[in-house]
A and B are shown apart, each in its own frame.
Chain A
């Protein structure tokens, strides 16, 4: 095993150990169980975004839309159709993925800031639907009167409704599946074409890679994973409102990815942890937490553009 592979292996083991034991040590350092679940859920969203941002080199600023669709998907399914957590997650994921796949062809020809702009603008469509379609979505007040359902495995029932720890582990299982799939794809020949596009789009195109098509597929995959995260987010809160779809939420995902380190697989998860804890703290301390979050964005851009893991990597390398 060469040193780089060894480092990656060690990092993966450490991350999983921390995640698996989180409910046991988090309260000891002043956290609460819901906070840990939020880190994992938003971490998944940021990692999904980073699949595009860090590995394909495509700047999406509209991922909140698909996150929110996943959230509404699960909420609406449980509220109106089938009172089942599992079916809800699947439905939410499907809705987000299909929406992404449909929007994809309209945006894949654009690049850079223009891609960012169009993805944000499209995201707003879903925001306004959720906002305006009051009779179904509850509009600005959000979708209420539903909650996550116990999971019936036949031989036993897991009460994720009242047992916060059980819910955390359910979220962790879904997280593991999604993250495992992502890592798998990135190591595949298709994944290598994405990294090739990030590295040099022109070269990739003239090596016989139809770049637009590959970006479309990567975009759809990324939307799929982020809608899984959205579904989990709604289950966590037993509630969805249009803010989950709003463009500022997309910005949060991007800053998480950048803060943790876009070029590393686990970076966005670390970024999400820092961001969630910071936001939680600020909003409990001051009314003007938005200013501080804004200032935080500015400081990250000016002083930590490579992210925490990017800096650590550099230190290790030198």
Chain B
């Protein structure tokens, strides 16, 4: 049974068709990469899944429930968390506080005027766990806005993870990073995927990362699906090579 089912979704802005009848099924525990040239509609496609935009046609189902028109916050409660192409964090708060917000939301405390000592202890422990997992522990009290790009990215991923999602959407997690940072983030994603068998969909430009991590790959071009398959199949696919990999290599 697929965890996420996207059926024939389209999104039109005026006369521009950004996404045109794309379908995708993601199985539990799968790591799916979405690739494609710039302007292929990858981010728009992501936005349709996370609720940032609603499709003009088609249907999105998560865990057998139709979420096509559900508000973003509700989708989060159902278990869909995401990161953004341009890092979205709380810049004037510390790493600890950045993580504390989603941990409290996930624990059902978003409207609480107070916490019991037990709850508070649990939340602190969970925040510490998340920081340890990502190597952010020694920067716990630094403001996130002052951290390196890589650490900000890592913070954002851990914030999404703090929600205990069943599906994690990562929009170009390694964008703008150097080799070492890219490697670190890729290792972090791999760890989440393998150790917690978390279902992940990611958009990525760095082909080394994609072929290293993905179970399956979907290729978008000009808003439509060009191909779909295992990394091996995609690497061997001539249409993809012509339309995308060829261009990237040239």
Q: Is A200 among interface residues, defined by CB-CB distance under 8 A?
A: yes
A189 contacts B90, C-beta separation under 8 Å: no
Q: B201 → chain A, closest Cβ, in Å?
A: 15
- A132 interface hit (Cβ, 8 Å): no
In the complex formed, the residue of A with least CB distance to B141 is: A2
Cβ–Cβ contact B92 & A199, under 8 A: yes
* A207–B92 CB distance below 8 A: no
- Point out which of B52, B91, B104 has the most chain A C-beta atoms below 10 A from its C-beta: B104
Residue B183 at the chain A interface, CB threshold 8 Å:
no
Choose among A199, A206, A210 the residue that contacts B81 (Cβ–Cβ < 8 A). Answer: A206
State the main secondary structure of chain A at its contact with B.
helix
In the complex, A185 has a CB within 8 A of chain B: yes
0/1 per residue, A192-219, Cβ < 8 Å to B? Answer: 1101100110111111111100100100
- Does A184 have its Cβ within 8 Å of any Cβ on chain B? yes
Q: How far is the CA of A193 from the CA of B100 in the complex (A)?
A: 10
Whole-angstrom distance from the CB of B94 to the nearest CB of chain A? 10
B178 at the A/B interface (Cβ < 8 Å)? no
Contacts of B104 in A (CB 8 A): 189, 192-193
Interchain CB contact under 8 A, A192 and B100: yes
Partner of A206, one of B82, B100, B112, B115: B82
Interface status of A190 (Cβ within 8 A of chain B): yes
Cβ contact within 8 Å between B90 and A208: no
B76 to chain A, nearest CB (A): 3
**Which residues of chain B (23-82) have a CB below 8 Å from chain A?**
50, 52, 71-74, 76-77, 81-82
A196 vs B76: C-alpha distance in the bound complex, in angstroms? 16
B67 CB, min distance to chain A CBs, angstroms: 14
Known contacts: A184-B113, A192-B97. The answer to whether A206 contacts B72 by CB under 8 A is yes
Residues on A close to B: CB < 8 A?
Answer: 2, 184-185, 188-190, 192-193, 195-196, 199-200, 202-211, 214, 217
